[in-house]
Structure 1
């Protein structure tokens, strides 16, 4: 496993990422907390672009738990059948909508435990919602963050929980809010899985990855 980068190097990395994109945004389209929960839940094993295409019309007609329940499971399926595992995901969307209506007055809760009690919502999904909607410094570790954290030495860990803890422990507090977005974007567009684009990487000189590429 790659060693842990020292604090000054990590601060410099996030200073550079902040200079490039001061306010990084998630790429899932949503109009409120409820549609964000649904979009993130649907994005498991799917691309953000594919989810956005599927939910464009869905969120126009069902942007609240009540409206989603009125649409029904088959109605949801009609909109999301291009997404992987769409039948199970549609079932979860209806179930979580019913729980939000019956137990939370139709509002999305702002605690991780409450969010994780919803069908189809795991820790990563809950952290995305806490971060993007409630602006809490929660770290949603996906495959991109896991790869970047381990390759660079920013947040090495053997599993996603360890990487999440490493981000919380080693990323400076003033960068915590946007840390996971910077890391996701970096992993999605520069530190890609098969052949990282080290030649254009703004943090290559600080990164601990040994097999750097020239392009």
Structure 2
């Protein structure tokens, strides 16, 4: 039992260390020796858990995806409209990107041209945004002249733009910046001018943002 606990801690330390390095320098520049050093474990321990850098990157991306799925599910369960769920999920995601290196690395790894594989997190996020926008349209929450496809493109592009800018300057992931984005976009999207940025999920779980 003690060995299993120690092994689990070592594995998680490697995932976090790898995430920090992937988030900082990208997949191509990250090295296994640097990751093992950051985690405080031997190279042999690293190779016991992860045979290759790609297998470690895949685990980081999988853990990031699971965290974001749980976040999205929680946001959707706490509000009454699909449009508010989209606002809350986006705001919470960007705040988590600022705080969680695993989620940050997961998005940076997604679609990294130096890494084999598909852009899984990007594709998943685009699907989630499109589904929420489509649900909002069916419920009459969108303004009549809003194209669901155009709205999806704009929100996905903005989300990844925040993530990319935040990699260079963490201020781009600040709560105030996220609020500015939605204060600008939401009046264009929403059928009702009364649709605001009130978010119980974000305030209670992540400290809130300026409105």
* TM-score, length-scaled by structure 1: 0.27
* TM-score, length-scaled by structure 2: 0.27
